[in-house]
Structure 1
Amino acid sequence: MSSVTETRVTIRPSQAGVPRPGSEAVTPPTSYGWRRRVLRGAGTVTTRSAAVVALAVIWEVFPRVGLVNSIFLPPLSEVLADWWELLRSGQLWEHTEASLIRSLSGFALAIAITIPLGLVIGWYKPVANLLNPLLEIFRNTAALALLPVFVLILGLGETSKIAIITYACAWPILLNTISGVRTVDPLLIKSARSLGLGPLRLFQKVVLPAAVPTIFTGIRLAGAYSILILIAAEMVGAKSGLGYLINYAQYNFAVPDMYAGIITISAIGLLVNQLLIALERRFSTWRTTS
Protein backbone atom coordinates (compact mmCIF):
# COMPACT_ATOMS: atom_id res chain seq x y z
CA MET A 1 0.00 0.00 0.00
CA SER A 2 1.60 3.17 -1.21
CA SER A 3 1.39 6.32 0.74
CA VAL A 4 0.71 9.51 -1.09
CA THR A 5 2.51 12.46 0.27
CA GLU A 6 0.41 15.62 -0.04
CA THR A 7 2.40 18.74 -0.64
CA ARG A 8 0.79 22.03 0.13
CA VAL A 9 2.03 25.08 -1.65
CA THR A 10 1.43 28.34 0.14
CA ILE A 11 1.13 31.26 -2.21
CA ARG A 12 2.22 34.48 -0.63
CA PRO A 13 0.26 37.65 -1.38
CA SER A 14 3.24 39.21 -3.09
CA GLN A 15 3.57 36.17 -5.36
CA ALA A 16 -0.08 36.31 -6.33
CA GLY A 17 0.23 39.82 -7.63
CA VAL A 18 -1.12 41.41 -4.46
CA PRO A 19 1.27 43.88 -2.86
CA ARG A 20 2.32 43.15 0.66
CA PRO A 21 1.07 45.68 3.23
CA GLY A 22 3.60 48.46 3.55
CA SER A 23 5.43 47.42 0.40
CA GLU A 24 3.64 49.72 -2.03
CA ALA A 25 5.87 51.18 -4.65
CA VAL A 26 6.71 54.79 -4.14
CA THR A 27 5.88 56.85 -7.18
CA PRO A 28 8.68 59.24 -8.01
CA PRO A 29 7.69 62.88 -7.69
CA THR A 30 6.52 64.44 -10.91
CA SER A 31 5.51 67.92 -11.96
CA TYR A 32 1.85 66.91 -12.19
CA GLY A 33 1.01 68.02 -8.63
CA TRP A 34 2.83 71.30 -9.09
CA ARG A 35 1.03 71.99 -12.35
CA ARG A 36 -2.30 71.15 -10.76
CA ARG A 37 -1.68 73.61 -7.91
CA VAL A 38 -0.69 76.32 -10.39
CA LEU A 39 -3.81 75.73 -12.48
CA ARG A 40 -5.98 75.71 -9.37
CA GLY A 41 -4.47 78.99 -8.18
CA ALA A 42 -4.91 80.56 -11.60
CA GLY A 43 -8.55 79.45 -11.65
CA THR A 44 -9.15 80.96 -8.21
CA VAL A 45 -7.60 84.29 -9.22
CA THR A 46 -9.63 84.32 -12.43
CA THR A 47 -12.87 83.63 -10.58
CA ARG A 48 -12.25 86.31 -7.97
CA SER A 49 -11.24 88.94 -10.51
CA ALA A 50 -14.07 88.23 -12.96
CA ALA A 51 -16.51 90.63 -11.28
CA VAL A 52 -13.89 93.40 -11.08
CA VAL A 53 -13.00 92.97 -14.76
CA ALA A 54 -16.70 93.01 -15.69
CA LEU A 55 -17.19 96.26 -13.75
CA ALA A 56 -14.18 97.82 -15.47
CA VAL A 57 -15.51 96.82 -18.90
CA ILE A 58 -18.96 98.22 -18.13
CA TRP A 59 -17.43 101.45 -16.82
CA GLU A 60 -15.39 101.82 -20.00
CA VAL A 61 -18.07 100.83 -22.53
CA PHE A 62 -21.30 102.34 -21.20
CA PRO A 63 -20.18 106.01 -21.31
CA ARG A 64 -18.70 105.56 -24.79
CA VAL A 65 -21.85 104.05 -26.33
CA GLY A 66 -24.12 106.61 -24.69
CA LEU A 67 -25.82 104.38 -22.15
CA VAL A 68 -24.46 106.66 -19.40
CA ASN A 69 -23.78 110.38 -19.63
CA SER A 70 -20.01 110.65 -20.01
CA ILE A 71 -20.06 114.09 -18.36
CA PHE A 72 -21.10 112.58 -15.02
CA LEU A 73 -19.35 109.21 -15.49
CA PRO A 74 -16.28 109.45 -17.74
CA PRO A 75 -14.82 106.23 -19.20
CA LEU A 76 -12.48 104.36 -16.91
CA SER A 77 -9.51 104.98 -19.18
CA GLU A 78 -9.95 108.75 -18.83
CA VAL A 79 -10.23 108.47 -15.06
CA LEU A 80 -7.06 106.36 -14.88
CA ALA A 81 -5.22 108.82 -17.13
CA ASP A 82 -6.26 111.68 -14.84
CA TRP A 83 -5.22 109.58 -11.81
CA TRP A 84 -1.78 109.13 -13.35
CA GLU A 85 -1.43 112.86 -13.96
CA LEU A 86 -2.35 113.59 -10.35
CA LEU A 87 0.23 111.06 -9.23
CA ARG A 88 2.95 112.52 -11.46
CA SER A 89 2.28 116.04 -10.27
CA GLY A 90 2.54 114.96 -6.63
CA GLN A 91 -0.93 116.16 -5.69
CA LEU A 92 -2.32 112.67 -5.21
CA TRP A 93 0.50 111.59 -2.94
CA GLU A 94 0.19 114.81 -0.90
CA HIS A 95 -3.52 114.21 -0.27
CA THR A 96 -3.01 110.49 0.33
CA GLU A 97 -0.25 111.12 2.86
CA ALA A 98 -2.42 113.55 4.82
CA SER A 99 -5.32 111.09 4.87
CA LEU A 100 -3.16 108.14 5.92
CA ILE A 101 -1.63 110.09 8.81
CA ARG A 102 -5.06 111.02 10.15
CA SER A 103 -6.60 107.61 9.59
CA LEU A 104 -3.74 105.56 11.02
CA SER A 105 -3.37 107.89 14.02
CA GLY A 106 -7.02 107.56 14.98
CA PHE A 107 -7.00 103.82 14.26
CA ALA A 108 -3.91 103.20 16.39
CA LEU A 109 -5.29 105.26 19.26
CA ALA A 110 -8.54 103.29 19.17
CA ILE A 111 -6.65 99.99 19.34
CA ALA A 112 -4.40 101.15 22.17
CA ILE A 113 -7.33 102.41 24.25
CA THR A 114 -10.16 99.99 23.63
CA ILE A 115 -8.48 96.56 23.60
CA PRO A 116 -7.21 96.85 27.22
CA LEU A 117 -10.53 98.42 28.25
CA GLY A 118 -12.51 95.66 26.53
CA LEU A 119 -10.42 92.94 28.18
CA VAL A 120 -11.03 94.47 31.60
CA ILE A 121 -14.77 94.90 31.01
CA GLY A 122 -15.15 91.39 29.63
CA TRP A 123 -13.16 89.72 32.43
CA TYR A 124 -14.27 91.65 35.52
CA LYS A 125 -18.03 91.78 36.08
CA PRO A 126 -17.98 94.71 38.57
CA VAL A 127 -16.28 96.90 35.98
CA ALA A 128 -18.80 95.76 33.36
CA ASN A 129 -21.75 96.55 35.65
CA LEU A 130 -20.33 100.01 36.28
CA LEU A 131 -19.60 100.97 32.66
CA ASN A 132 -22.32 99.16 30.71
CA PRO A 133 -24.99 101.90 31.07
CA LEU A 134 -22.55 104.53 29.83
CA LEU A 135 -21.45 102.33 26.94
CA GLU A 136 -25.04 101.70 25.89
CA ILE A 137 -25.67 105.44 25.66
CA PHE A 138 -22.67 106.24 23.47
CA ARG A 139 -22.63 103.12 21.31
CA ASN A 140 -26.00 104.09 19.82
CA THR A 141 -24.79 107.58 18.89
CA ALA A 142 -23.46 107.79 15.34
CA ALA A 143 -19.98 109.20 14.97
CA LEU A 144 -20.98 111.57 12.18
CA ALA A 145 -23.74 112.98 14.38
CA LEU A 146 -21.05 114.04 16.84
CA LEU A 147 -18.79 115.58 14.20
CA PRO A 148 -20.08 119.14 14.84
CA VAL A 149 -19.47 118.61 18.55
CA PHE A 150 -15.86 117.56 17.96
CA VAL A 151 -15.34 120.55 15.67
CA LEU A 152 -16.82 123.00 18.22
CA ILE A 153 -14.75 121.63 21.07
CA LEU A 154 -11.48 120.80 19.30
CA GLY A 155 -11.59 123.18 16.35
CA LEU A 156 -11.11 122.58 12.64
CA GLY A 157 -7.52 121.33 12.93
CA GLU A 158 -6.06 117.85 12.95
CA THR A 159 -7.11 117.14 16.54
CA SER A 160 -10.83 117.03 15.80
CA LYS A 161 -10.34 114.79 12.75
CA ILE A 162 -8.18 112.28 14.60
CA ALA A 163 -10.55 112.35 17.57
CA ILE A 164 -13.65 111.58 15.49
CA ILE A 165 -11.81 108.70 13.77
CA THR A 166 -10.73 107.35 17.14
CA TYR A 167 -14.31 107.53 18.42
CA ALA A 168 -15.70 105.73 15.36
CA CYS A 169 -13.05 102.99 15.43
CA ALA A 170 -13.32 102.43 19.17
CA TRP A 171 -16.75 100.84 19.21
CA PRO A 172 -16.29 97.79 16.96
CA ILE A 173 -12.98 96.99 18.65
CA LEU A 174 -14.37 97.46 22.16
CA LEU A 175 -17.57 95.48 21.62
CA ASN A 176 -15.83 92.61 19.86
CA THR A 177 -13.14 92.45 22.54
CA ILE A 178 -15.78 92.22 25.26
CA SER A 179 -17.66 89.57 23.29
CA GLY A 180 -14.48 87.59 22.64
CA VAL A 181 -13.63 87.42 26.34
CA ARG A 182 -17.16 86.55 27.44
CA THR A 183 -17.70 83.80 24.85
CA VAL A 184 -14.63 81.71 25.71
CA ASP A 185 -15.59 78.06 26.10
CA PRO A 186 -16.32 77.47 29.81
CA LEU A 187 -14.85 73.96 29.56
CA LEU A 188 -11.48 75.44 28.65
CA ILE A 189 -11.60 77.70 31.70
CA LYS A 190 -12.63 74.83 34.01
CA SER A 191 -9.91 72.58 32.60
CA ALA A 192 -7.27 75.26 33.06
CA ARG A 193 -8.39 75.92 36.64
CA SER A 194 -8.31 72.19 37.41
CA LEU A 195 -4.68 72.18 36.29
CA GLY A 196 -3.89 74.83 38.87
CA LEU A 197 -3.61 77.94 36.73
CA GLY A 198 -4.05 81.17 38.61
CA PRO A 199 -6.26 84.01 37.39
CA LEU A 200 -3.43 85.84 35.63
CA ARG A 201 -2.02 82.75 33.90
CA LEU A 202 -5.54 81.62 33.03
CA PHE A 203 -6.26 84.92 31.35
CA GLN A 204 -2.91 84.93 29.55
CA LYS A 205 -2.87 81.30 28.36
CA VAL A 206 -6.55 80.56 27.76
CA VAL A 207 -8.85 83.59 27.61
CA LEU A 208 -6.70 85.97 25.57
CA PRO A 209 -5.68 83.45 22.85
CA ALA A 210 -9.29 82.26 22.51
CA ALA A 211 -10.53 85.84 22.09
CA VAL A 212 -8.00 86.81 19.40
CA PRO A 213 -10.19 85.95 16.34
CA THR A 214 -13.13 87.96 17.66
CA ILE A 215 -10.87 90.89 18.53
CA PHE A 216 -9.46 90.92 15.01
CA THR A 217 -12.97 90.95 13.59
CA GLY A 218 -13.52 94.22 15.42
CA ILE A 219 -10.14 95.55 14.25
CA ARG A 220 -11.03 94.83 10.62
CA LEU A 221 -14.36 96.61 11.01
CA ALA A 222 -12.58 99.55 12.61
CA GLY A 223 -10.13 99.67 9.71
CA ALA A 224 -13.04 100.20 7.32
CA TYR A 225 -14.59 102.81 9.63
CA SER A 226 -11.31 104.73 9.79
CA ILE A 227 -11.48 105.30 6.03
CA LEU A 228 -15.19 106.09 5.88
CA ILE A 229 -15.23 108.58 8.75
CA LEU A 230 -12.01 110.15 7.51
CA ILE A 231 -13.61 111.18 4.21
CA ALA A 232 -16.52 112.85 5.98
CA ALA A 233 -14.19 114.61 8.43
CA GLU A 234 -11.96 115.91 5.63
CA MET A 235 -14.93 117.46 3.87
CA VAL A 236 -15.31 119.88 6.80
CA GLY A 237 -12.63 122.50 7.19
CA ALA A 238 -9.74 120.53 5.64
CA LYS A 239 -7.18 121.85 3.19
CA SER A 240 -5.69 118.49 2.23
CA GLY A 241 -6.63 114.84 2.13
CA LEU A 242 -8.55 112.57 -0.22
CA GLY A 243 -11.89 113.72 1.19
CA TYR A 244 -10.90 117.31 0.49
CA LEU A 245 -9.79 116.32 -3.03
CA ILE A 246 -13.15 114.67 -3.77
CA ASN A 247 -15.12 117.57 -2.33
CA TYR A 248 -13.01 120.19 -4.15
CA ALA A 249 -13.30 118.30 -7.45
CA GLN A 250 -17.07 118.06 -7.06
CA TYR A 251 -17.48 121.79 -6.47
CA ASN A 252 -15.27 122.62 -9.47
CA PHE A 253 -16.91 119.97 -11.64
CA ALA A 254 -13.58 118.17 -12.15
CA VAL A 255 -15.33 114.82 -12.42
CA PRO A 256 -12.26 112.71 -13.39
CA ASP A 257 -10.39 114.07 -10.33
CA MET A 258 -13.32 113.11 -8.14
CA TYR A 259 -13.36 109.53 -9.41
CA ALA A 260 -9.58 109.34 -9.13
CA GLY A 261 -9.88 110.17 -5.43
CA ILE A 262 -12.63 107.58 -4.98
CA ILE A 263 -10.52 104.87 -6.67
CA THR A 264 -7.57 105.75 -4.44
CA ILE A 265 -9.69 105.44 -1.31
CA SER A 266 -11.03 102.07 -2.46
CA ALA A 267 -7.50 100.81 -3.13
CA ILE A 268 -6.31 101.96 0.30
CA GLY A 269 -9.27 100.28 2.01
CA LEU A 270 -8.60 97.03 0.16
CA LEU A 271 -4.91 97.12 1.04
CA VAL A 272 -5.60 97.81 4.72
CA ASN A 273 -8.10 94.96 4.87
CA GLN A 274 -5.62 92.50 3.30
CA LEU A 275 -2.90 93.55 5.73
CA LEU A 276 -5.24 93.01 8.68
CA ILE A 277 -6.23 89.57 7.33
CA ALA A 278 -2.56 88.59 7.08
CA LEU A 279 -1.94 89.85 10.61
CA GLU A 280 -4.96 87.94 11.87
CA ARG A 281 -3.64 84.71 10.34
CA ARG A 282 -0.29 85.31 12.01
CA PHE A 283 -1.87 85.70 15.43
CA SER A 284 -4.25 82.79 14.84
CA THR A 285 -1.27 80.54 14.04
CA TRP A 286 0.37 81.69 17.27
CA ARG A 287 -2.85 80.92 19.13
CA THR A 288 -3.11 77.35 17.83
CA THR A 289 0.56 76.50 18.22
CA SER A 290 1.17 77.96 21.67
Structure 2
Amino acid sequence: MRRVLLRAAFVIALPVLLVAGWWVTSDDSTDVYWPPLRTILETFPDVWTGERLKDDVLPSVLRLTGGYALAAVVGVALGTVIGSYRRVRAVCEPVLEFLRAVPPPVLVPVIMLFAGIGDTMKVTVIASGCVWPILLNTVEGVRAVDPVMTETARSYGITGTTRLRSLVLRSASPQIFAGLRQALSIGIILMVISEMFAASNGLGFTIVQFQRGFAIPDMWTGILVLGLLGFLLSVVFQLVERRVLGWYHGLRASSRRSP
Protein backbone atom coordinates (compact mmCIF):
# COMPACT_ATOMS: atom_id res chain seq x y z
CA MET A 1 0.00 0.00 0.00
CA ARG A 2 2.82 2.34 0.89
CA ARG A 3 4.52 1.65 -2.43
CA VAL A 4 1.30 2.41 -4.33
CA LEU A 5 0.84 5.72 -2.48
CA LEU A 6 4.47 6.67 -3.06
CA ARG A 7 4.18 5.90 -6.77
CA ALA A 8 0.95 7.92 -7.04
CA ALA A 9 2.67 10.85 -5.32
CA PHE A 10 5.51 10.74 -7.85
CA VAL A 11 3.03 10.60 -10.73
CA ILE A 12 1.04 13.66 -9.68
CA ALA A 13 3.94 15.70 -8.25
CA LEU A 14 5.19 17.14 -11.55
CA PRO A 15 1.72 18.04 -12.95
CA VAL A 16 0.86 19.77 -9.68
CA LEU A 17 4.12 21.74 -9.74
CA LEU A 18 3.59 22.75 -13.38
CA VAL A 19 0.02 23.91 -12.75
CA ALA A 20 1.09 25.81 -9.64
CA GLY A 21 3.91 27.47 -11.58
CA TRP A 22 1.52 28.40 -14.40
CA TRP A 23 -0.97 29.82 -11.89
CA VAL A 24 1.64 31.95 -10.10
CA THR A 25 3.43 33.27 -13.20
CA SER A 26 0.21 34.17 -15.03
CA ASP A 27 -1.86 35.43 -12.11
CA ASP A 28 -1.16 39.14 -12.71
CA SER A 29 -0.87 38.87 -16.51
CA THR A 30 -2.53 41.58 -18.58
CA ASP A 31 -1.36 40.15 -21.91
CA VAL A 32 -4.39 39.29 -24.05
CA TYR A 33 -2.57 36.27 -25.48
CA TRP A 34 -1.44 35.00 -22.07
CA PRO A 35 -4.48 35.20 -19.79
CA PRO A 36 -4.28 34.10 -16.16
CA LEU A 37 -4.85 30.41 -15.57
CA ARG A 38 -7.65 31.41 -13.20
CA THR A 39 -9.51 33.02 -16.11
CA ILE A 40 -9.00 29.98 -18.33
CA LEU A 41 -10.36 27.60 -15.69
CA GLU A 42 -13.35 29.87 -15.06
CA THR A 43 -14.08 29.87 -18.81
CA PHE A 44 -13.69 26.11 -19.20
CA PRO A 45 -17.14 24.92 -17.99
CA ASP A 46 -18.91 27.61 -20.02
CA VAL A 47 -17.18 26.53 -23.25
CA TRP A 48 -17.03 22.74 -22.96
CA THR A 49 -20.62 21.88 -22.34
CA GLY A 50 -22.14 18.48 -23.02
CA GLU A 51 -23.32 19.61 -26.45
CA ARG A 52 -19.89 20.86 -27.48
CA LEU A 53 -18.28 17.64 -26.26
CA LYS A 54 -20.67 15.70 -28.48
CA ASP A 55 -20.27 17.99 -31.49
CA ASP A 56 -16.50 18.55 -31.37
CA VAL A 57 -14.67 16.13 -29.06
CA LEU A 58 -16.54 12.97 -30.06
CA PRO A 59 -15.97 13.42 -33.84
CA SER A 60 -12.28 14.02 -33.19
CA VAL A 61 -11.98 10.87 -31.09
CA LEU A 62 -13.81 8.81 -33.72
CA ARG A 63 -11.52 10.08 -36.49
CA LEU A 64 -8.46 9.37 -34.38
CA THR A 65 -9.72 5.89 -33.56
CA GLY A 66 -10.44 5.11 -37.21
CA GLY A 67 -7.09 6.34 -38.51
CA TYR A 68 -5.15 4.73 -35.66
CA ALA A 69 -6.89 1.37 -36.10
CA LEU A 70 -6.30 1.44 -39.86
CA ALA A 71 -2.62 2.25 -39.34
CA ALA A 72 -2.30 -0.55 -36.76
CA VAL A 73 -3.79 -3.18 -39.08
CA VAL A 74 -1.77 -2.08 -42.12
CA GLY A 75 1.45 -1.54 -40.16
CA VAL A 76 1.40 -4.89 -38.36
CA ALA A 77 0.36 -6.82 -41.47
CA LEU A 78 2.96 -5.27 -43.80
CA GLY A 79 5.62 -5.24 -41.09
CA THR A 80 5.15 -8.96 -40.46
CA VAL A 81 5.53 -9.77 -44.17
CA ILE A 82 8.53 -7.48 -44.67
CA GLY A 83 10.25 -8.66 -41.50
CA SER A 84 9.71 -12.34 -42.30
CA TYR A 85 11.21 -12.40 -45.80
CA ARG A 86 14.68 -11.04 -46.50
CA ARG A 87 14.11 -10.48 -50.21
CA VAL A 88 10.90 -8.55 -49.61
CA ARG A 89 12.74 -6.44 -47.06
CA ALA A 90 15.59 -5.71 -49.46
CA VAL A 91 13.13 -4.51 -52.11
CA CYS A 92 10.91 -2.46 -49.78
CA GLU A 93 13.43 -0.77 -47.48
CA PRO A 94 14.53 2.03 -49.86
CA VAL A 95 10.92 2.93 -50.64
CA LEU A 96 9.96 2.81 -46.95
CA GLU A 97 12.84 5.07 -45.96
CA PHE A 98 11.84 7.57 -48.66
CA LEU A 99 8.17 7.64 -47.66
CA ARG A 100 8.97 7.79 -43.95
CA ALA A 101 11.05 10.93 -44.51
CA VAL A 102 8.06 12.81 -45.98
CA PRO A 103 6.32 14.77 -43.16
CA PRO A 104 2.64 13.68 -43.00
CA PRO A 105 1.28 17.28 -42.75
CA VAL A 106 2.79 17.97 -46.18
CA LEU A 107 0.55 15.27 -47.62
CA VAL A 108 -2.68 16.91 -46.43
CA PRO A 109 -3.26 18.94 -49.65
CA VAL A 110 -2.46 15.88 -51.76
CA ILE A 111 -4.80 13.63 -49.78
CA MET A 112 -7.52 16.28 -50.07
CA LEU A 113 -7.30 16.01 -53.86
CA PHE A 114 -8.08 12.29 -53.78
CA ALA A 115 -10.17 11.87 -50.62
CA GLY A 116 -12.10 15.15 -50.57
CA ILE A 117 -12.60 17.24 -47.46
CA GLY A 118 -14.78 14.90 -45.40
CA ASP A 119 -13.93 12.46 -42.64
CA THR A 120 -12.24 10.11 -45.12
CA MET A 121 -9.51 12.68 -45.67
CA LYS A 122 -8.96 13.19 -41.96
CA VAL A 123 -8.82 9.46 -41.21
CA THR A 124 -6.40 8.96 -44.11
CA VAL A 125 -4.12 11.75 -42.87
CA ILE A 126 -4.02 10.23 -39.39
CA ALA A 127 -3.36 6.74 -40.76
CA SER A 128 -0.63 7.98 -43.12
CA GLY A 129 1.38 9.33 -40.20
CA CYS A 130 0.66 6.63 -37.62
CA VAL A 131 1.53 3.70 -39.87
CA TRP A 132 5.31 4.32 -39.99
CA PRO A 133 6.34 3.76 -36.36
CA ILE A 134 4.05 0.71 -36.22
CA LEU A 135 5.37 -0.71 -39.48
CA LEU A 136 9.06 -0.16 -38.74
CA ASN A 137 8.85 -1.44 -35.18
CA THR A 138 6.97 -4.51 -36.37
CA VAL A 139 9.68 -5.21 -38.96
CA GLU A 140 12.39 -5.00 -36.32
CA GLY A 141 10.39 -7.09 -33.87
CA VAL A 142 9.81 -9.86 -36.40
CA ARG A 143 13.47 -9.83 -37.44
CA ALA A 144 14.52 -10.21 -33.80
CA VAL A 145 12.59 -13.46 -33.21
CA ASP A 146 14.92 -15.96 -31.54
CA PRO A 147 16.36 -18.29 -34.22
CA VAL A 148 16.46 -21.15 -31.70
CA MET A 149 12.73 -20.80 -31.09
CA THR A 150 12.14 -20.63 -34.83
CA GLU A 151 14.03 -23.87 -35.39
CA THR A 152 12.26 -25.51 -32.46
CA ALA A 153 8.87 -24.58 -33.89
CA ARG A 154 9.90 -25.96 -37.26
CA SER A 155 11.10 -29.20 -35.66
CA TYR A 156 7.76 -29.71 -33.94
CA GLY A 157 5.85 -28.95 -37.13
CA ILE A 158 4.37 -25.67 -35.88
CA THR A 159 3.61 -23.76 -39.07
CA GLY A 160 1.06 -21.45 -40.65
CA THR A 161 -1.20 -19.28 -38.52
CA THR A 162 -0.26 -21.12 -35.32
CA ARG A 163 3.41 -20.24 -35.80
CA LEU A 164 2.50 -16.68 -36.75
CA ARG A 165 0.27 -16.16 -33.73
CA SER A 166 2.15 -18.09 -31.05
CA LEU A 167 5.74 -17.38 -32.04
CA VAL A 168 6.24 -14.47 -34.44
CA LEU A 169 3.63 -11.97 -33.24
CA ARG A 170 4.05 -12.94 -29.60
CA SER A 171 7.83 -12.48 -29.73
CA ALA A 172 7.49 -9.22 -31.65
CA SER A 173 4.63 -7.84 -29.52
CA PRO A 174 6.79 -5.70 -27.16
CA GLN A 175 8.32 -3.97 -30.20
CA ILE A 176 4.91 -3.65 -31.86
CA PHE A 177 3.48 -1.95 -28.77
CA ALA A 178 6.44 0.44 -28.73
CA GLY A 179 5.44 1.47 -32.24
CA LEU A 180 1.79 1.74 -31.26
CA ARG A 181 2.72 4.04 -28.38
CA GLN A 182 4.72 6.33 -30.68
CA ALA A 183 1.90 6.34 -33.22
CA LEU A 184 -0.66 7.45 -30.62
CA SER A 185 1.01 10.83 -30.03
CA ILE A 186 1.52 11.29 -33.78
CA GLY A 187 -2.16 10.51 -34.35
CA ILE A 188 -3.30 13.22 -31.92
CA ILE A 189 -1.13 15.80 -33.67
CA LEU A 190 -2.40 14.81 -37.12
CA MET A 191 -5.99 14.76 -35.87
CA VAL A 192 -5.69 18.44 -34.96
CA ILE A 193 -3.86 19.36 -38.18
CA SER A 194 -6.37 17.57 -40.41
CA GLU A 195 -9.27 19.36 -38.69
CA MET A 196 -7.71 22.73 -39.43
CA PHE A 197 -8.28 22.11 -43.15
CA ALA A 198 -11.83 22.43 -44.50
CA ALA A 199 -13.55 21.13 -41.38
CA SER A 200 -16.81 22.10 -39.73
CA ASN A 201 -16.27 20.46 -36.34
CA GLY A 202 -13.61 18.84 -34.20
CA LEU A 203 -11.06 20.06 -31.69
CA GLY A 204 -8.67 21.47 -34.29
CA PHE A 205 -11.46 23.38 -36.04
CA THR A 206 -12.82 24.75 -32.76
CA ILE A 207 -9.43 25.95 -31.49
CA VAL A 208 -8.75 27.75 -34.77
CA GLN A 209 -12.21 29.38 -34.66
CA PHE A 210 -11.54 30.64 -31.15
CA GLN A 211 -8.16 32.02 -32.26
CA ARG A 212 -9.64 33.78 -35.30
CA GLY A 213 -12.38 35.29 -33.14
CA PHE A 214 -9.82 36.48 -30.54
CA ALA A 215 -11.54 34.37 -27.88
CA ILE A 216 -8.15 33.68 -26.34
CA PRO A 217 -9.28 32.13 -23.00
CA ASP A 218 -11.62 29.86 -24.98
CA MET A 219 -8.70 28.88 -27.23
CA TRP A 220 -6.61 27.97 -24.19
CA THR A 221 -9.43 25.79 -22.86
CA GLY A 222 -9.32 23.87 -26.14
CA ILE A 223 -5.60 23.30 -25.66
CA LEU A 224 -6.31 21.99 -22.16
CA VAL A 225 -8.91 19.60 -23.58
CA LEU A 226 -6.31 18.29 -26.03
CA GLY A 227 -3.87 17.71 -23.19
CA LEU A 228 -6.48 15.91 -21.10
CA LEU A 229 -7.49 13.79 -24.10
CA GLY A 230 -3.88 12.80 -24.71
CA PHE A 231 -3.45 11.91 -21.03
CA LEU A 232 -6.60 9.76 -20.95
CA LEU A 233 -5.63 7.93 -24.15
CA SER A 234 -2.17 7.29 -22.72
CA VAL A 235 -3.68 5.80 -19.55
CA VAL A 236 -6.00 3.56 -21.58
CA PHE A 237 -3.10 2.47 -23.76
CA GLN A 238 -0.98 1.57 -20.71
CA LEU A 239 -3.82 -0.51 -19.26
CA VAL A 240 -4.22 -2.43 -22.53
CA GLU A 241 -0.46 -2.87 -22.87
CA ARG A 242 -0.16 -4.18 -19.30
CA ARG A 243 -2.90 -6.71 -19.96
CA VAL A 244 -1.65 -7.90 -23.35
CA LEU A 245 2.04 -7.92 -22.38
CA GLY A 246 1.54 -9.23 -18.86
CA TRP A 247 3.80 -12.21 -19.63
CA TYR A 248 6.56 -9.89 -20.84
CA HIS A 249 6.49 -7.55 -17.85
CA GLY A 250 6.36 -10.55 -15.52
CA LEU A 251 9.40 -12.06 -17.24
CA ARG A 252 11.33 -8.80 -16.90
CA ALA A 253 10.37 -8.45 -13.24
CA SER A 254 11.48 -12.00 -12.47
CA SER A 255 14.79 -11.48 -14.28
CA ARG A 256 15.47 -8.35 -12.20
CA ARG A 257 14.76 -10.22 -8.95
CA SER A 258 17.00 -13.16 -9.82
CA PRO A 259 20.64 -12.92 -8.65
| Fold shared per TM-score above 0.5 | yes
Q: Which has the higher helix share?
A: 2
- Number of positions where the alignment pairs a residue of Structure 1 with one of Structure 2: 250
Report the counterpart of residue 205 of structure 1 in structure 2. Answer: 166
2:27 aligned with 1:40, yes or no? Answer: no
Name the residue aligned to 1:134: 95
State the one-letter code of the partner of 1:77: R
Instruction: Tell me the residue number matched to 1:240.
Output: 201
Structure 2 residue 127 is matched with structure 1 residue 162? no
Please tell me whether residue 228 in structure 1 is matched to residue 189 in structure 2: yes
Aligned-residue offset at 1:89: 6.0
Alignment partner of 1:150 is 2:94: no
Instruction: Note closer, same or farther for the CA distance 1:89–1:111 as it changes in structure 2 (3 Å cut).
Output: closer
Q: Which stretch shows the higher mean deviation, 178-187 or 74-83?
A: 74-83
Q: Which one of the candidate residues 74, 94, 106 is aligned to 1:113? A: 74
Q: Which structure's relative contact order is higher, taking Cα pairs within 8 Å and 6+ residues apart?
A: 2
- Which of structures 1 and 2 has the bigger CA Rg? 1
- Distance between the aligned counterparts of 2:15 and 2:249, measured in 1? 35
Q: In structure 1, what is the equivalent of residue 175 of structure 2?
A: 214
Provide structure 1 residue ranges, at least 5 long, that are not aligned to the other structure: 1-36
Matches within 5 A, 1:47-196: 47-66=10-29, 69-88=30-49, 90-196=51-157
SS at structure 2 position matched to 1:65? coil
1:40-98: per-residue Cα shift (whole Å, max 9, x none)? 322222222111111111222222234xx442222223212212112236224321012
Identical-pair percentage? 34
CA distance in 1 between counterparts of 2:157 and 2:112 reads 53
Distance 1:109 1:59, change over 3 A: same
Q: Which amino acid aligns with 2:224?
A: I
Task: Report the Cα distance in structure 1 between the residues aligned to 2:176 and 2:134, rounded to whole angstroms.
Answer: 6
Matched, 1:265 2:226: yes
* CA spacing shift, 1:57–1:113, aligned 2, 3 Å: same
Equivalent residues of 2:27, 2:37 under 8 A apart: no
TM-score w.r.t. length of structure 2:
0.88
Query: Per-residue displacement from partner, 1:196-242 (whole Å, max 9, x unpaired)?
Result: 43465433322221101110111111111111011111111111111
Which structure 2 segments of 5+ residues have no match?
251-259
Deviations 1:147-179 (A, max 9, x none): 111122222222211111110111111111111
How big is the alpha-carbon RMSD for the aligned residues of Structure 1 and Structure 2?
A: 2.0
Contact kept? 2:56, 2:201, Cα under 8 Å: yes
